[in-house]
Amino acid sequence: MLLSLPALHLQTSEYHPLLQLPHGRLGPWCSPTGSPAPLSCETGCGEGSWILVCRLLVPTQVSLLSMEEDIDTRKINNSFLRDHSYATEADIISTVEFNHTGELLATGDKGGRVVIFQREQESKNQVHRRGEYNVYSTFQSHEPEFDYLKSLEIEEKINKIRWLPQQNAAYFLLSTNDKTVKLWKVSERDKRPEGYNLKDEEGRLRDPATITTLRVPVLRPMDLMVEATPRRVFANAHTYHINSISVNSDYETYMSADDLRINLWNFEITNQSFNIVDIKPANMEELTEVITAAEFHPHHCNTFVYSSSKGTIRLCDMRASALCDRHTKFFEEPEDPSNRSFFSEIISSISDVKFSHSGRYIMTRDYLTVKVWDLNMENRPIETYQVHDYLRSKLCSLYENDCIFDKFECVWNGSDSVIMTGSYNNFFRMFDRNTKRDVTLEASRENSKPRAILKPRKVCVGGKRRKDEISVDSLDFSKKILHTAWHPSENIIAVAATNNLYIFQDKVN
């Protein structure tokens, strides 16, 4: 799905990035790359040889995909590829997430739809299909709404999806738009009951007077049907737009964060939440920062972090007090005076924060860099990776076309040894933490042949450009990789670009 997401941002000609937007929206504050080297085998990422497994397209109309259609119609993969120039803004992918086993991959789009892909089962005569994903279920998660009291239009766009660990045959996931979080159950049904006494074959009630015999209902086999049903709806708790949801390690609670507040929910209670962070000042004119992302610790249910538009990260402990208005740890890097510019405050805003799987580190993404922080060292990050430092000279034009407000995400691989994040021109970057090597790869339609090996790309900053390089002035800023996901245990990655979803795997995988 190739989606280029228009960034949610302030109208820069009229508003300062930290002032309140119309309709109650708060805007996000709002080493030059060398020759890309292959990633090391020791880290489990192969030798930089990533191959395209499949390119998937989100169906443009969910209603066209009936759950009862023939199973072949649900396999929308390479056979579905054609020029989708008619793709609308609603088809733009806005989030990507693997489940805990990696067998399912969920995407959400700006049209409020959730499409779930299932991994193809490996067979002896189809070894080449290992890692390929096909459409498993698709459903409309959110609809556009209008708040008449506030004259506020609520978009249906899916901001985040989070899976719950599988406890039985069904799957559960959380999806959220700007205001409402929903808990969905996705289950399979391959049998149907027949032989009702009080209903006919069409399901209509029968006249009891006409019933002369009793039948024992039986279950008959039927074509596999995947059903998605909403089990909980958590609404009316956020004044501003939700930017993050995170499931707690106790699997009984989760939190949702907007620009100024973080709420804690119990999965069984939909009409009440607990406010655990509130940074809204008494006078909105005194507002200096907003919350940009939040996440629970992967192992300690009492600990969570949230990032701000000032480039700071706060670690909070819910055991200290009910309202975590005082942080336990505060992570901030002193600003380098030599890099100070008009745009310093904007590009320092953190767009994503992620705990490592081990829980020892925190990874953050700002506009130009990815940083890794040790929980035991607050004064500076232990690692800093330049994603696209060649754009530093282009910040003025990026400010004018609003790209400077784009929110890039970042992800860890399963062993926390490699990190990945997106860039422009449909480039995405991988950084090996052990060898300090990096590689730039591209997800594009031109390279969308199945099993094709990705060639490392290099951006030429100045001087004579080589044949395999691309000039920084030739980058397409309308093509951007904002959302990526990494399989929890294997070297399989999902990269969202506009309305296309590219799935790659390491060649040696």
Q: Is residue 454 part of a domain?
A: yes
pLDDT digits (tens, 9 = 90+) for 284-325: 999 999 999 999 999 999 999 999 999 999 999 999 998 998
H-helix or E-strand containing 395? helix 395-400
The SS3 assignment for 129 reads helix
User: pLDDT by residue (tens digit) across 317-341?
Assistant: 999 998 998 999 999 998 888 878 8
From residue 413, how far is each of 282, 484, 488 by CA, in Å?
42, 11, 7
What mean pLDDT comes out for the span 142-150? Answer: 87
The CATH number of residue 368's host domain is 2.130.10.10
Instruction: Please report the pLDDT score of residue 218 as a whole number.
Output: 85
**Is 482 a member of any domain?**
yes
Structural domain contains residue 152: yes
Q: Is residue 7 part of a domain?
A: no
Tokens of 202: 């069409």
Give residue 452's pLDDT.
79
Please report whether residue 1 resides in a domain.
no
Number of domains in the chain: 1
354 pLDDT more than 90:
yes
**C-beta separation of 40 from 48 below 8 A:** no
Identify the DSSP state of 249.
Answer: T
- Within a domain: residue 31? no
pLDDT of amino acid 124? 53
Residue 243 C-alpha from the chain's centroid: 11
Answer whether 0.85 is exceeded by the pTM.
Answer: no
Q: Are 330 and 314 in contact (CB under 8 A)?
A: yes
Query: What proportion of the chain, given as a percentage, has pLDDT over 90?
Result: 62
pLDDT tens digits for 2-54? Answer: 333 333 332 323 333 333 333 333 433 333 333 333 343 344 454 458 888 88
Q: Indicate whether 39 belongs to any domain.
A: no
Task: Record the tokens describing residue 172, joined without a space.
Answer: 């559960």
Token readout for 300 is 């300690």
What pLDDT is stored for residue 41 in this prediction? Answer: 36
User: Considering the chain, what is the average pLDDT of its residues?
Assistant: 83
Closest Cα to residue 456, out of 475, 474, 437, 479?
437
* Residue 125 structural domain: 50-62+88-208+216-506
pLDDT band at 125 (very low <50, low <70, confident <90, very high): low
Whether 339 is in a domain gets the answer: yes
Q: Which of 153-162, 169-178, 452-461 has the lowest mean pLDDT?
A: 452-461
